Amino acid sequence: MFSQIVTKINEGGPFFMVPILLLLILIIILIVKGFLEENKRKTISLISSIGLFTIAWGILGQTVGLVEAFDAVQAAGDISMSILAGGLKVSLLTTVFGIMTFLVSRLGIIALVWVQKENQE
């Protein structure tokens, strides 16, 4: 399992995948911190901002990957569809990882807001 994650990070490009992974870890830490503190507003705002950044970073990684892939296709000339499909798959890894990280942040925010409302009642 761990080796598959490392493989996907390397496939997607460490320059884009490693920051998303670090931001995912930071989001999880902030969610735990949010459950331990009374005033959750600043933590929720920070989690929201980081989550949105991960989507933008993932899409930037996809765009850079697509440009590099199409440059390689242009240089190679005629290529097979399987090679093109493999390149497109790799370019989508950063976006998928960014969206998954965003979803974790949103679920954390939902849980923190729910707990905050329960405590106020």
pLDDT confidence of residue 18: 94
In angstroms, the CA 5 to CA 53 distance is 21
Residue 1 has pLDDT above 90, yes or no: no
Per-residue pLDDT reduced to its tens digit, 31-79: 999 999 888 899 999 999 999 999 999 999 999 988 888 888 888 877 8
pLDDT confidence of residue 53: 97
Q: How many CB atoms lie within 10 A of CB 28?
A: 15
pLDDT confidence of residue 114: 94
Q: What percent of the chain has pLDDT over 90?
A: 56
Q: Which of 5-19, 59-73, 77-91, 98-112 has the highest mean pLDDT?
A: 98-112
In angstroms, the CA 19 to CA 76 distance is 31
Q: Any idea what the Cα angle at residue 20 is, between residues 52 and 49, rounded to 5°?
A: 25
Please indicate whether residue 12 or residue 23 has the higher confidence score (pLDDT). Answer: 23
Instruction: Identify the CA nearest to 92 among candidates 3, 8, 1.
Output: 8
